[in-house]
Structure 1
Amino acid sequence: MYVVRTLIMAGGIGERLWPVSVKKRPKQFHKFGSSKTMIEETIERMEKVTDEIIIITTREQFPLMQYYLPLFPGENVIFEPMRRNTAPAIALGSTRFSPDDIMVVVPADHVIRDEESFLKTLNKAIKYAESNDSLVTIGITPTYPYTGYGYIERGNAVDDNEEVYSVKKFHEKPDYETAQHYVQSGRFLWNSGIFVWKKSVFDLELSKNFPDLFSAISEISKRPEDIEKIYERLPKISIDYGLMERSSKVATVPASFYWNDIGSWDAVYDLLIKDKNGNAVEGEFSLKDVKNCLLINHTQKKLAVSGIEGFILVATSEGTLVCRRGESQDIKEIIK
């Protein structure tokens, strides 16, 4: 019987959600359409399906963790010396797992609804990873041709119940026409960034497909005092590029629960409840002839808005953002 343990990735800044998500309080410590922060919701979900939770974050975010998660054990927190994207973060986090552990990797900043369906899907992935030497990822059945997510192209079923499939290819964020083709074909899934594998299988695949990272993490295990020096020379690379796209042992479990990675203000608009004019509104506003807008005001002042349609307006003490809906992916470039 394997021990199932979770690694929660919680070191990101969420720059595309500026001016709400900022360095001193990134998006995982915010609430989106809920009474709890996203990191609190993630922990509660994962406690129902795994034996222990490890969080990987940065030292600068630790005070926030202590504030929002006062009961979470400090010894279960790993610090990344500097941000190096998800491949190095997951590899570093894996050093706290035993070779026989089933390792579940989840981001701290996703909104998931229909928890029962989520837990059922995750249990399928865990069961498959227990008995197969595979890197398993969960793919979300797309509900519309969204261009803000990467896609997984699935191959044939690899289990008798047709609940787990081989992965043919990972695809980057497509343009709208390509996304339409993906959705119509029925063979493509949104890439959720949720992974399940045996720690020993992860080590083997990492050593074969990304030997530089594997040897750097092995070095850190032997010489923890040199972690900063070793980690600094690692490339900034995602787990998809660094391992999943290179490995031949990847499987996917299709899922249909509500999932939103809150990767942009457009994703927040999709998530929130709308009024009769299609507006999602939080905070003090005076509106006239405003339709299909996302309006968020975290200041003490009332904002007056008139005669616009299909816009995003977000105001906080950090700054104000105005852009068209559908263009919020570009915020990262603007705030540079």
Structure 2
Amino acid sequence: MITVILSGGSGSRLWPVSRESYPKQFCEFFDQSFLNNTIERLRPFGTPYIVTLQTMGALTHNAMTQSGIATDRLLLEPLPKNTAAAIALVVHHALQQNLGDEVLGVFPADHLITDVGTFQKAISLGEEIAKNNNVVTLGIQPRYPATGYGYLEVGSQAISTSKTTMPAYPVKKFCEKPNIETAEKFLEAKNHYWNAGIFFFKANHIAKLFEIHMPELWKRIKTIKPDLSNLKSVYSNLMSQSLDYGIMEKLTDGVVCIPGDFGWSDVGSWDELARLQEEKLEISSSANVFSFDAADNFVYSSHDKVIGVSGVDQLIIVDTPDALLVTRRGESQNVKKLVEMMREARLPQADGHSFEVRPWGRFEILSDQANHKVKRLIVEPGRQLSYQEHQKRDEHWTFISGNAEVVLDDKTIAFKPGEQIYIPRGSKHRLRNPGKVPVVIIEVQTGQYFGEDDIKRFQDDYDRV
């Protein structure tokens, strides 16, 4: 089986931790990121392909490196075009490699699964059923009448499989997200399951379904060259549509659901994280919380901070270095509205963090004023920044930890912690980490303009020249 992880998403529901520049799949609420957790539970089924946006390339590359998987399985979309285009891209890639008879397993990157053993058994069963030219999906046993998920209506007669302890049922239809009255009826009927967006199908079978139900998209996808050199031009002409809407809702037979619980959650809100914590799932928060005469509050911090809570109940408090969220429990779905308000006000905190991840490591903005900017840079072992120059700023580097090398106007200089270097504007320079531990420096920029576009690159290991 070829496993495929779809790693998209805009990142606004769990603001301020998740943002457009650092969406949910990269957040580490449970010791490691959702994406790394997804990679780990799929490991028994081989190395996955990961489909994500080019803007998420560095983040995804780092996650793959952390999990020890080959980065040649990374497919970067130039534009967001929803799940149909992403899956069609992988299908086309598989057919180009003569893998049409292989089963593809498609998984979202940002879901939580706590019953991994049962989940993996369901994956094996899904592969088995899909080999007979069926489309297979996993259905989640609903816990309450949710209006935020699509549903699967299944038949009453289980199909015959090799696993008698794990039933599978024919899908009668895919149902759109319901209103509350309809969701209550679905829950009472006991033959409706949440649609988790997990699918299994043979590559050549889903290709035929694309040909039938989304012929224009499939026609364009088939023109993509093996080296992906025309990917951007093809994508610019694709419609944005989900696989559910484009194909699944149109199928009348040959679709099978494997229902289960799997300890599944899409962790789609702060209220859901609070519920998970109440169920004794450990959340990786750095907050040191002191509470007096307060009950049922959920407090989270992405960095070490002492937080005192007194005389309030049923609050959600989320703290990051540059933003703070306070809302009532049961109201966290309105966070998206707050983000939209911030975007209208053109606040950078709506979509961006005070830190950014780069292929060589990351940097954090410590101070950003009219006449100076201060950053902390962390360069991973064996990596280096581009050989570059600036026209509008000078830079002063102080080395904090690790042994570094600086190339300044073609001259290489070694530095150790406690030393400094001045880099005047117009000088070609780069920072390199030849060691085995991260290099940390404090960079002080002086001048009148500090935008990231004031970089002229002469050489770059990551094709950014």
Question: Is TM more than 0.5 here?
Answer: yes
Report how far residue 299 of structure 1 moved.
Answer: 4.3
The aligned runs of 1:74-113 (5 Å cut-off) are 74-97=71-94, 98-113=99-114
Q: Any idea what the Cα deviations from partners look like across 1:5-39, whole Å, max 9, x if unmatched? A: 1011113232211110123322112222x222211
Residue 18 of structure 1 aligns to a residue whose secondary structure is coil
Residue in 2 aligned with 1:208?
212
Report how far residue 300 of structure 1 moved.
Answer: 4.4
Report how far residue 294 of structure 1 moved.
Answer: 2.2
User: 2:229 and 2:285 mapped to 1: Cα distance?
Assistant: 49
Report how far residue 332 of structure 1 moved.
Answer: 2.2
Report how far residue 221 of structure 1 moved.
Answer: 4.0
Residue in 1 aligned with 2:54?
59
User: 2:178 and 2:312 mapped to 1: Cα distance?
Assistant: 29
Q: Any idea what the Cα deviations from partners look like across 1:250-278, whole Å, max 9, x if unmatched? A: 22111121101112222212222468xxx
Identity of aligned residues (%): 35
User: 1:223 and 1:72 mapped to 2: Cα distance?
Assistant: 21
1:330–1:236 distance in 2 versus 1, CA, 3 Å: farther
Query: Is residue 14–residue 263 contact of structure 1 (8 Å, CA) maintained in 2?
Result: no
Residue in 2 aligned with 1:7?
4
Residue in 1 aligned with 2:43?
47
Query: Is residue 152–residue 169 contact of structure 1 (8 Å, CA) maintained in 2?
Result: yes
Report how far residue 325 of structure 1 moved.
Answer: 2.5
TM-score normalised according to structure 1 size: 0.89
Unaligned runs of 5+ in 1: none
Query: Is residue 274–residue 281 contact of structure 1 (8 Å, CA) maintained in 2?
Result: no
Higher relative contact order (CA 8 A, sep 6+): 1
Query: Is residue 122–residue 258 contact of structure 2 (8 Å, CA) maintained in 1?
Result: yes
Is residue 264 of structure 2 the alignment partner of residue 239 of structure 1?
no
1:225–1:69 distance in 2 versus 1, CA, 3 Å: closer
Report how far residue 89 of structure 1 moved.
Answer: 1.2
Residue in 2 aligned with 1:334?
338
Residue in 1 aligned with 2:138?
138
Residue 223 of structure 2 aligns to a residue whose secondary structure is helix
Query: Is residue 10–residue 107 contact of structure 1 (8 Å, CA) maintained in 2?
Result: yes
Moved more, 172-181 or 85-94: 172-181
1:151–1:324 distance in 2 versus 1, CA, 3 Å: farther
Is residue 297 of structure 2 the alignment partner of residue 293 of structure 1?
yes
1:281–1:242 distance in 2 versus 1, CA, 3 Å: same
User: 1:326 and 1:236 mapped to 2: Cα distance?
Assistant: 32
Query: Is residue 20–residue 318 contact of structure 1 (8 Å, CA) maintained in 2?
Result: no
Residue in 1 aligned with 2:63?
68
User: 2:64 and 2:47 mapped to 1: Cα distance?
Assistant: 15
Higher strand proportion (structure 1 or 2): 2
Report how far residue 128 of structure 1 moved.
Answer: 0.6
Report how far residue 282 of structure 1 moved.
Answer: 5.6
Residue in 2 aligned with 1:254?
259
Please say which structure displays the higher CA radius of gyration.
2
Moved more, 256-265 or 282-291: 282-291
Query: Is residue 140–residue 189 contact of structure 1 (8 Å, CA) maintained in 2?
Result: yes
Report how far residue 236 of structure 1 moved.
Answer: 2.3
1:173–1:322 distance in 2 versus 1, CA, 3 Å: farther
1:282–1:171 distance in 2 versus 1, CA, 3 Å: farther
User: 1:175 and 1:311 mapped to 2: Cα distance?
Assistant: 27
Residue in 1 aligned with 2:455?
none
Residue in 1 aligned with 2:277?
272
Report how far residue 317 of structure 1 moved.
Answer: 2.2
User: 1:266 and 1:95 mapped to 2: Cα distance?
Assistant: 39
Query: Is residue 64–residue 71 contact of structure 2 (8 Å, CA) maintained in 1?
Result: no
1:67–1:225 distance in 2 versus 1, CA, 3 Å: closer
Q: What letter corresponds to residue 134 of structure 1 in structure 2?
A: N
Higher helix proportion (structure 1 or 2): 1
Unaligned runs of 5+ in 2: 341-465
Moved more, 196-205 or 155-164: 155-164
Report how far residue 123 of structure 1 moved.
Answer: 1.2
User: 1:152 and 1:264 mapped to 2: Cα distance?
Assistant: 22
Q: What letter corresponds to residue 31 of structure 2 in structure 1?
A: S
1:109–1:151 distance in 2 versus 1, CA, 3 Å: same
Query: Is residue 11–residue 22 contact of structure 2 (8 Å, CA) maintained in 1?
Result: no
Off by >4 Å, runs of 4+ in structure 1? 279-282
Q: Any idea what the Cα deviations from partners look like across 1:135-157, whole Å, max 9, x if unmatched? A: 11100111233333222111243
Residue in 2 aligned with 1:125?
126
User: 2:61 and 2:289 mapped to 1: Cα distance?
Assistant: 34
User: 1:293 and 1:180 mapped to 2: Cα distance?
Assistant: 28
Residue 254 of structure 1 aligns to a residue whose secondary structure is strand
User: 1:295 and 1:200 mapped to 2: Cα distance?
Assistant: 49
Q: Number of residue pairs matched? A: 327
User: 1:159 and 1:106 mapped to 2: Cα distance?
Assistant: 23
User: 1:235 and 1:309 mapped to 2: Cα distance?
Assistant: 46
Residue 69 of structure 1 aligns to a residue whose secondary structure is helix
User: 2:147 and 2:310 mapped to 1: Cα distance?
Assistant: 29
